Amino acid sequence: MAIYTFDSEQRCTLDRYTLFLSTIVSTHDKVNLVFFRRASSGHQPTSLPYDSRLNNVVWDERNLHGLWARVKALRDQASAYIEALVTFKQEVLLFIARTSKSELLDGMDISNFSLAHSPIWNSSLPRTINGLVYGLGNLFFAGKGDMIQVEKIVQDVCEHSFGLKSIFTRAMGHRVCECHAQPIVAPELFRANDTTPLWDIEYSSADPLVKAREYEADVLTLFRQWESLGVWMGGFFEEVSLRFDTVRIDLTQTQEMTTVGRLKVKLETVQDNAEELMGMLNHVELWLRK
């Protein structure tokens, strides 16, 4: 888990890339305004056709804004399952202390354990000890399904970023009329307040050429930072998904679980993996917290 911890610089990258997504369509519109003004002054008009890849921007921005809520809901859900698991193990230990590790599970009254009355079951309450353990495993399987959706969000935003980088680079380098190779779009955007791109850096000069150069350089750096962060997040979420699966497999393999002693061993093994999973979810939820 340690290799996938997140820091404040990565959070800054996430916030700034989300901000960039909120500005790119309006910047595209401002480019067309520059074209219009250039044509109005007598130059041969040019245009920058709308790229359908921009249609992904709204959804990507929305999904990144909603990432914390998704992870928090997943974390809270997993926490309820793990709390029920830990309580179950503690009650099994108390049961063994009163009876014996060799006590058979077949026919055992599940009402002796609070897991049988847990709200996590909704209306699908298992009827045997093996059923309780197997059913708990299936709940972690459902958690993995939710985790895959989170993975997919990050994967999609990363894939779309390559297209957005191409769109941005092409737009900034596009000439502003068909009759001259110069000027190009980027510095012309900074010549009027209503076409200046919305961005969060302090420029070293009021010169439009300097501003354009610094703006382009910063955004292209952000693309590289986001690409790196996206890979990092993808790896982290894949590890979380694998841990959901490990717990699920451990719990649903109940064929050899015939005595209370074997139940105890299984729950101890699963608890170690589940608590590692919980640590990862707590860490990323805190990092994403708004």
Domains defined along the chain, listed by start: 2-288 (1.20.1170)
Measured CA distances, 130 to 133, 142, 260, 268 (Å): 5, 19, 11, 16
Q: Are 82 and 272 in contact (CB under 8 A)?
A: no
Q: Is 75 exposed, middle or buried (0-12, 13-18, 19+ CB in 10 A)?
A: buried
Report the amino acid identity of residue 82: I
Integer Cα distance of 163 and 239 in angstroms: 27
Integer Cα distance of 224 and 245 in angstroms: 32
For residue 2, the model assigns a pLDDT of: 45
pTM above 0.85, yes or no: yes
CB proximity list for 116: less than 8 A, separation 6 or greater: 110, 125, 126, 132
> What's phi and psi for 200, nearest 5 deg?
-115, 30
For residue 1, the model assigns a pLDDT of: 43
Report the amino acid identity of residue 9: E
Q: C-alpha angle 234/238/243, rounded to 5°?
A: 150
Q: Are 259 and 104 in contact (CB under 8 A)?
A: yes
Classified as helix, coil or strand, 180 is coil
Q: Are 184 and 173 in contact (CB under 8 A)?
A: yes
Q: Is 42 left (phi over 0), alpha (psi -120 to 50) or beta?
A: left
Mean pLDDT by 10 residues, the chain (290 residues): 79 97 94 95 92 94 97 96 95 93 89 90 85 93 92 96 96 95 96 95 97 98 97 93 94 91 94 93 95
For residue 3, the model assigns a pLDDT of: 60
CB proximity list for 109: less than 8 A, separation 6 or greater: none
